[in-house]
Structure 1
Amino acid sequence: MCRRSAQTCCGAPVRGGVHRDVGRVSDAPTRAGICGAVTHADAVGRPMLSHPVPDSARGWLDSVGTSSIRAPISFAAVSDPHGSPASPEVAMSLSISLLGPLLIRSDGQPLPPPVGRQRTLLALLVSDLGRVTSRDRLMTELWPDGPPPSAAVNLRGYMSGLRRWLADNSSRDRRAALLREGVGWTLWLPPELRMRLDVRDFERDLAEGRRAAADGDVPAAADHLRGAIARYRGTPMRDVPRGPVLSSWSVLLTNRWMDAVEDYADALLQIGRYAATRELLHHFVERHPFRERAWGQLMTAYSRCGDTGAAVATYQAARTALVEGLGVEPGAELQALHNAVLHRDPALTSMLVLQRHFAAAIAGAGEGRRKPARPNTPAAPD
């Protein structure tokens, strides 16, 4: 990091920005130097970073890139911020878990999360990790109905509180920092700080499971998918005050998890673990009664165990949920499965049929979610 005075940095005057004390970030714009500058925007108007940046941060920013897909779910595309492995003497880990209540650990020890709207800001900055979070985006999240006249002052106060929280919960030489980047802020992590995000781990396990399924290695697919769904602890960011962006992201993450559960159920059916499939899906369909794919998988598990009565009863429960909850009849695929159960169709127990269905589902999911777009409007939770 630049060691010059606060008045000059890298030969250019600085009217604000980050000085040697990384816990202090002014709200005035920075012309050049250690904070970098925003010189252009991406295709959707997101600001993009340009150098110069701190020498200690340059390698990490190069590794993650500064333009990216809008979706915060794309953590799988972000390299580990620590870059090359740090030595055991200086390495420090920071774990942030968003798939449920907010959990933060430093070197395995739980940390008290920031409170109130500072918690919102932290979640939003983490969702934009490696990118600039614009001032307008922050204000929209904090005040969905429009910012009050004091919004700018309040935002500076919340950012100051978050900087204090970062300072209080990390050592001075290995401290995450909020960098002001002209039109917004970014959460910077020093190379020695090893960041773990449960969302990124979830996406990695899900991708590896689907890749194994596509390659025909169903047992490996089941192992990866089981790991993915186990990371979900409930409604994402349940205890975080959420505006439109985080609310939409929470719903998107929940839908991703439900898809992963159904992928895992398909894998269990393929390897003949029918009892495990029933156990997995019994409570799942109670909590998510409009998931026709899961209902069909549960029917298949019962039928393959020879319990035709339970399979028929499962269809009736699915139909009741759909008719009473949505006012619609079951779809053609579920109706066809019901008919196959009633007629004891031998194809129902054919592994080949299920393998084709599983491969098609994985391929469709991969194509549809290769580059997910961040929702621009809030979606209501189930």
Structure 2
Amino acid sequence: DGGVDLHGKCWYLGEAGASCSSTCKAKNLGYSHYVAGEAAPMVPKLLGREPGTRQFAWGRTECYVPGSDRYHTAKERADSNAGDQGDAGDWSVDVCRLACSCTQGASSPAPPVTPSAPYPGCVEQSSVYRHAGAHAIFVDLSSYGAAGCWQNDCKNTDKFNADDMGICARTCSQIEECTHWSYGEQEDAKKCFFRKSDGGREQADGWTSAPKGCAPPPIPDSYLAWSAAELLKVCDAGKSDACPDMARAVTTWRFAIRHLKRATEGKVDPNTINFINQVSDDTDAFAAQMSEDNFPVVVGNNRQVFMALGSWLASQPQPSVDTRDASLPNPVRSQFCGPASCHEKVD
């Protein structure tokens, strides 16, 4: 029906102003991004002729402008002025008919065969939840991811770079607005994507997706707080050869305190809660303006709170964890957090 079968995809030339996700969906197909390259672009093949003018690659998808019979080729990384920074399937330009690479199969494939199976058996293979202009959540994910965020702002994003799909699952389970997650490659990096519905589901090779309930067993907040605080004992005397990076130490302290607040909510007396809130505020303030002189003071106050709660923390559940599990935050794997987040890899 007017498509071209090439590169393992079924290609269609969309209508002016239409995204590739909508173009493929109209054909009852899923969208699967592919760059054909400069040597053999797709627009001439889809038109059956060479347009009057061939122009530079601009976005990640080829664009044909019928009003002036010209086209832009595509490249892996879009120019900053293209507005092509989210899901490639969501990009559209009013004057462009996009060369869209679609995949066989319904745009909304069936749910996983065993949705109630324990993780990772509940994860749906070859499936992605697209934003499609409506389904993404844009929230503060800076505690979970540090790179690859929407417009480089991890405080207002629906995605971040991640080394393991379990990070997506664990993050979604902790974000109130998140109902579904996807994991796949964008801009040469593996990323987590977070959604508020499954309305953008498409078939896509190399992607995995799941609803919120499909996640590894949760780690108790008390254990997360205790693990980080124990790791930080090398910093109790301040910056030193054993504790050379204040930024990483402070990020780890903030992680410990954040989970301590969650663990103690409704379980300790109001005075203790006030102390926890005070060291939390002080640590956040220090993170905004760090100084080597004040570092031991902030660390000392944090340690006092954790020492006061030492017996209580020790009485809480102690799960068995595999430190090789890449979905776990750094402190549970006996590593400090990165300067920005606790899933950050630091050499």
TM-score (norm 1): 0.25
Q: TM-score, normalised by structure 2?
A: 0.27
**Whose helix fraction is larger, Structure 1's or Structure 2's?**
1
Q: Name whichever structure is richer in strand by fraction.
A: 2
Q: Which has the higher contact order (CA 8 A, sep 6+)?
A: 1
